[in-house]
Every structure is written in C-alpha cells, then in structure tokens.
Amino acid sequence: MTEHSTEESPAYTTPQNPEVDLHDNRRQVLYWRLLARLFDHEEQATLESASLAVVEDIGLPSGLLDPQVSVDSIVQRHPELASEFDGLMAPAPVDDGARDRAAEVRRAALVSKVLLNVFASGSGTVTAGQLARWQSDAGWLELALGCKPGELRGGRGGGRAGASTAGPGVSPTGTGGPGRTPDLSRLIPAIGPELGAIEADLVKRMHLREVLADPKLAAQLTPSMSLIEQLLRDKNNLSGVALANAKALIRRFVDEVAEVLRTQVEKTTVGALDRSVPPKRVFRNLDLDRTIWKNLTNWSPEEERLYVDRLYYRHTARKTTPQRLIVVVDQSGSMVDSMVNCTILASIFAGLPKVDVHLIAYDTQALDLTPWVHDPFESLLRTNLGGGTDGTVAMALAQPKIAEPRNTVVVWISDFYEWRTEQLFESMAAIHRSGAKFIPVGSVTSSGRGSVNPWFRERFKDLGTPVISGHIRKLVHELKTFLA
C-alpha cells in the first residue's frame, strides 16, 4: 500500500452526494483498510480513524478493528452477531430487488474482521494460546464461507468454533443455510492449502515443543502461569518425552501454588464460639490472662501473692462446616489463571474434615471432576481450555448436588460473559433463595486482574451476593469464614 493509494482512498466524511454514495464510501474505507493491513505492515492512520468512525456509526463494536481480539471474544460479548457471521461470505441467492447498501457496509466490517484475523498471522514466536485463537478464527472463516468448521482444512476442527457442534455456546453451528452452499470443489483447492500453510507456520514457530523434547532444556524451564497455560492448551499434541516433561512442569507448578494456598487457608482459619456449652475444665483450655485479671482483687501486697478463687477456661470453637462445597469453574481461555488457582484450592478444602467437595469445569459442555478433586494435577489434565461459555450445562450438574441448601456453599468462578444470561442468572438466584450460600467469583488470580460482565455484576449486587474479584486471598477468607 503506497502513500499515493492512501490519499486516494475515500476518507469517511459526510458526502454531498445521495445516501447511496455515503454507503459506498463507507464500504470502500473498510476494504481499503483491510488491504492496507494485509499487504503493508505500516499502519495507515487515516484509514484507521475513518474505519473507526464507520464502525461506530453503524452500531458495531470497535473491537472488530483490533486484530488482537478474536472473533470468539467479539461474539461472546455481542452474541447477537453470531448469526451474522454464519454464512457471511457464502454466495447468496439472486435477488431482483434493490441493493441494501447499508447491509453491505455492515457485511464489509464483519468480513474484514474474519479475513484480517486469519490471513494476517504476524511473525515471531507463537504461543499455544495464539495458535488456539487462530484455529478458532479459521473456523469462523469456514463458517462464514458456509462450510463446517475444519472442512476446508481437511476435516479438522479448528478451536472454539470447531467445538461448537458438540453443544450450545457462543459459536454458531449452522452450515450457511439453504441456497448458500458454496462450491467446495473450487474453495478447497484455492483456500484449503493456504489455511493449512498458515497453520503449519504457526505450529513451527512454537519452539516450546522442541524445548520439551529435550530433557536438559526442559529442566531449565521455570514454571509460571503463562507457561502452564501453554502446556494445558497444547497437551493433546504432545507425546513421549515432551509429554512427560510437560506433565512434570505442571505437577511442579501445582505443588508450588498448592503450598502457598494451603498456608493462606491455615492462616485464615476461624471458628464460632459455642457459649451454650461449658468449656472443658482441662489445663490446655485454661485462660491464664483472664484468670489473673478476674482475681486481681485477691492480690495480697504483704505476701506478694495472688489468691485464685475461680479458674477461667477458654471455649473451644464449634465447627459449623457445611456438608457440601460445590466449585464450578469456567474453563474458557480468559479464565485460565482463576481455573488453575481454584482447582488447587478445591483440592485443599477437600482435604479438610467434614467438607464434601465437588468440582465442575465447563465451556459449552460440563465435566464433573469430583473423582479427581483431591488431585489438582489430574483435574487440570482433564480440562480443555478454550471453548464457548454456556453455564447452563454446568448448572444442570450442580443443582442436583444441593441436597441440603443450608449446609451447602456454591462457588461459581467465571467472567460471566455467557450465552444464556437470563436463564443462568435466574437459576443462580434460585440457589441463593433456597438458603444455600452462593459466591460468584469474577477473577481470583495471582495478579488480581480480570474483567466481569457488568450485566451480571449489577444483578449479583442487587441480589446481595456481590462478585468477589482480585487476589485469591479474598476467596480463601470468604470460604473459611463460612466453612469454619
């Protein structure tokens, strides 16, 4: 893209021509920007600002212009757009009516998003998360062309969009609708190899696999949350020595975090005093300070001796531990830090007496990890990072576990960017009204960073169960206060 072509590209201004020209100008701005981004690494400021004005004017999210934001993220926050991406680029039936130029502008913005995310793959080292995001965006491209996810890449599902066929979620499941099926005999030879080449290049730039395959290099790795995220995302693609080294790193990280969290749990132990029952009159319960204070009137200055009329004993803490703790964890990509921390935390509470812990992980499907709740390492190995977000499938597993609401606490960890918002919130409110303790957790990370859907945040606040977010110590304290 040359400087000359940028100047000739139409900037977004109010034209003096009819409204038809306005729509045409808008559409051209979006496509000029797409070409500039694909073929010239230098950002064209004029095109960027003009495109932003177009997108905002037609009521689309500005995230469409950010190549670092996946289509999944856009649709998760704006689920109404899912149906627009499905069959977006498939040949449409011939319509003898007038052109809908406003719709063409909107279509140009969505098409530009999909093409830019898939074909502008950048350079440099690639993480497993970036690969997963690209695979998901490639799945959206295939859906936009009217194909099934993975169909243009030899039938291999691609990321979150590819997983959508397994159940409901933010990803569309259609095949383009009637009358819009593309000519695959032309698309597969033209686009399929290109997508395969891009994907192969991304995998090649993932040097982590090479490191894991070398025991000496793998031993030099220091486990961190970002590294564990990559290992969890890529674990199904590893085997042999590389897989063994990956598991060793995950186990090492889990043990280190577990030790820290276990210390926090022990420090925040609390108990309610049962003053209706006299304390046991044994020496270990003797309250020496109180005994001295209460008997100070019996002090004899002449003899320098304190005469004790009565001994005072400490009350022991009465355990009011609820019978059941149910932890539900969103395993979508944005919740990795919280998922790892809370899976480990669940195992720690499972080791406490009289606490029956159940663990559920979900995306568009739910997985009951209760049989492995005592071993966070095994639990994490069974998770599948990414996927859509449909909490109703997790609720279907969680609700039957609430046998005695008054003795049950439900901890729900998610950013709450959900597919079925009203339905899920109503079921959560029902748990709260039943008498069970419901604790919504937006993010409990090592850094304390995270975002929560404001729609859910406000409704949880009105319900009297505000969202916990920030450092995981907050959740530890909340749970210990309730459990002890």
* Each residue's pLDDT tens digit, 395-450: 999 999 998 998 899 999 888 988 889 999 999 999 999 999 999 988 665 444 45
pLDDT of amino acid 160 = 40
Whether the pLDDT of residue 88 is over 60: the answer is yes
**Architecture (CATH level 2) of domain 258-268+319-483:** 3-Layer(aba) Sandwich (3.40)
Whether the pLDDT of residue 115 is over 70: the answer is yes
Please state, for a pLDDT cut of 70, what percent of the chain lies above it.
75
pLDDT of amino acid 176 = 36
pLDDT of amino acid 293 = 81
The string of pLDDT tens digits covering residues 176-186 is 334 444 555 56
Whether the pLDDT of residue 461 is over 60: the answer is yes
Q: How far apart are CA 84 and CA 106, in angstroms?
A: 10
Whether the pLDDT of residue 320 is over 70: the answer is no
Whether the pLDDT of residue 6 is over 50: the answer is no
What mean pLDDT comes out for the span 245-272?
77
Q: Tell me the C-alpha to C-alpha distance, in Å, between residue 231 and each of 228, 359, 430, 465.
A: 5, 21, 38, 35
What mean pLDDT comes out for the span 379-393?
83
* pLDDT band with cut points at 50, 70 and 90 for residue 195: confident
What residue spans of 215-267 are helical by DSSP H?
215-219, 225-234, 240-267
Full strand arrangement of the beta sheet holding 408-413: 366-368, 356-362, 324-330, 408-413, 437-445, 468-471
Amino acid at 428: M
Residue intervals in the chain for CATH 3.40.50.410: 258-268+319-483
The per-residue b/e assignment along 269-300, b for 16 or more CB within 10 angstroms, e otherwise, is eeeeeeeeeebeeeeeeeeeeebeeebeeeee
Q: How far apart are CA 363 and CA 265, in angstroms?
A: 28
* pLDDT band with cut points at 50, 70 and 90 for residue 385: confident
Report yes or no: 69 and 63 within 8 Å, Cβ to Cβ.
Answer: yes
Within 10 angstroms of residue 56's Cβ, the number of other Cβ atoms is 12
* pLDDT band with cut points at 50, 70 and 90 for residue 231: confident
Report yes or no: 75 and 144 within 8 Å, Cβ to Cβ.
Answer: no
What mean pLDDT comes out for the span 456-475?
85
pLDDT of amino acid 410 = 94
Q: How far apart are CA 281 and CA 310, in angstroms?
A: 12
DSSP state of 295: T
Total length of the chain: 484
pLDDT of amino acid 445 = 55
Nearest Cα to Cα of residue 144 among 224, 80, 82, 70: 82
* pLDDT band with cut points at 50, 70 and 90 for residue 214: confident
Please name the residue that has the structure tokens 């995302």.
233
pLDDT of amino acid 340 = 83
What mean pLDDT comes out for the span 45-56?
87
Whether the pLDDT of residue 86 is over 70: the answer is yes
**DSSP code per residue over 446-483:** SS------HHHHHHHHHHT-PPEEEEHHHHHHHHHHHH
| Residue 44 three-state SS | coil
Nearest Cα to Cα of residue 344 among 439, 449, 243, 264: 264
Nearest Cα to Cα of residue 105 among 4, 7, 10: 10
β-pair partners for 439 = 411
Whether the pLDDT of residue 316 is over 60: the answer is no
Q: How far apart are CA 402 and CA 222, in angstroms?
A: 40
What mean pLDDT comes out for the span 287-291?
83
